[in-house]
Structure 1
C-alpha cells in the first residue's frame, strides 16, 4: 500500500469529492432518520465511504442505528480499516474481507451497496454488479464512481518513462472498457434486477492544484505500484528510483520551475435502484 501521506492526500483530494457526490446522488444524505440503514462499501480501501458518511451526516445519532460494512478483497486494506474504525470511534461499522464478485451475503440484505472506483479494478465487474443487486433489498440503492477516460497524470508520467526508456503506463490497471462511460452504462443496463427508470449517470471532475512540481512528485510516489504494475523485477531495479526525479524534470519543463499547475481527474457517478417487486 502507498505511504500514509500519499494515501491521505489521494483520499482527501481525489477520493472524497466524488464519494460525497455519490452519497448525494443516492439520496443517502437525506435519508429519513427512522430508516434502518444497512450499507455495504465494496472495495473499501481504508474506509473512504464510511469516512465521508460520518463527516457528512449524523449517522451515529440515527435510530434505529445504522450499520456499515466495509468490504475489500485485500486483507491489508481490512486491517487498516479496522484500525481507522477504532481510532475514529465509528459506531456500527465493521470491516471484513469480501470478494465483491461473490459476497456470500443473503439476498435482500442491504439498503445501499456503494463502491468508490472499485468495480473497474475487478476481474469481472459485470459479475460484481449482479451480486451487488442481488444483495440489495427491494428498491435499495446501488451507487458507484468510476474514472472517465485516462487520468490526467498519465500523460506526463509517460513522457518521463519514454525519456528513461522504460515501459509505458498506458492507463490504470482497469478491466477493459471501464474507462469508457458509454461502455459502463451498457454494463449497468445489462445488470438484471435494476429499475432503469431510476438510473442516473452524471459526470464529475476534480481539479487539484499544486504549488510546484516537487509537491506533486512527493505525493505521486503513491502511484508507483500502479505505474509499474506490469513491470518485471529487472525493469523495477533499473528504472523505479528514476521515475519521480524525471517526472519532476518533465513538469518543470512544462509549467516552469517553482510554478503552480493542476491535475484533472474525470469521473462518472452512477446510481440506480433495485426493482421494488
Structure 2
C-alpha cells in the first residue's frame, strides 16, 4: 500500500513504524493520511479499520500507482510496501511517487531481495511432491529495473534526483510452527505463486 501523508490537517497521536520488531513512535503532529491501493477489496478492509478504530483525517481509495492523478508536490511522505517490483510499469510508478512528493519530502518503500525469504522453503516443499510441480518465484515480475539489487536501487534513486538516499536491507526471522500456520499467514502468496506458474 502506498501511504501519502500531507502535513496540512490534524492527525492526532503518533504512528509506530516497525522493522525487525523494533517500534519507533513517530509523532506526526497534524497530518492527513491517505491510504491508496489498486484493489477495492483491500481498500475495503482499510476503510473498515478506519471506521472501527476511529482513525482521524484518514482516507482510503483505489488508485493506479502508474498514474495517480494526485496533485504534484502535495505529500511530505510517500511509501510503498512490496510494490515497485510487481507493478507492470514500475518506472512510471516510481516517477509518480517522486512527482507527488513535496521538495524535501521522504520516499520510503520495501521490496524483496534474492532469494525471496520464503521461496527456498516452498521450493523444497514442491520438490517433495510425488508428481512434477514446477515452482518459480521471481523477486521481480516487472520488466524495468532490478528491484532486488540494493546498488541498482540506490543508483536509480540518485539518478532521479533524490538526495540523502539510504538503502538498508532489513532482515528478520519468521518462525513457522506448522503447515496450518504457514497457510494461514502466507496462503495468499502461495495462491499467487501457484496461479502464476
Task: Specify the TM-score bucket, using the shorter chain as the normaliser.
Answer: 0.7 to 0.9
Aligned to 2:55, the other structure's residue is in SS state coil
Question: Who is 1:70 aligned against?
Answer: 35
Question: Who is 1:203 aligned against?
Answer: 169
Spell out structure 1 runs of 4+ moving beyond 4 A.
Answer: 50-53
Question: Who is 2:187 aligned against?
Answer: 221
Unaligned runs of 5+ in 2: 10-14, 19-23
Q: Measured at CA, do residues 144 and 219 of structure 1 come closer, stay the same or move farther in structure 2, by a change above 3 Å?
A: closer
Contact 2:84–2:90 at 8 Å: present in 1 too? yes
* 1:215, distance to aligned residue in structure 2 (A): 3.4
Question: Who is 1:6 aligned against?
Answer: none
Deviations 1:137-159 (A, max 9, x none): 11111111111212232122122
Higher RCO structure, 1 or 2 (CA under 8 Å, sep 6+): 1
Would you tell me which structure has more helix in proportion to its own residues?
1
Q: Counterparts of 1:142 and 1:201 in 2: how far apart (Å)?
A: 11
Question: Who is 2:75 aligned against?
Answer: 110
Give the CA RMSD over aligned residues: 2.8
TM-score normalized by structure 2?
Answer: 0.78
Question: Who is 2:121 aligned against?
Answer: 156
* 1:209, distance to aligned residue in structure 2 (A): 1.9
Radius of gyration: which is bigger?
1
Aligned to 2:61, the other structure's residue is in SS state strand
Q: Counterparts of 1:78 and 1:143 in 2: how far apart (Å)?
A: 20
Question: Who is 1:80 aligned against?
Answer: 45
Q: Counterparts of 1:38 and 1:167 in 2: how far apart (Å)?
A: 51
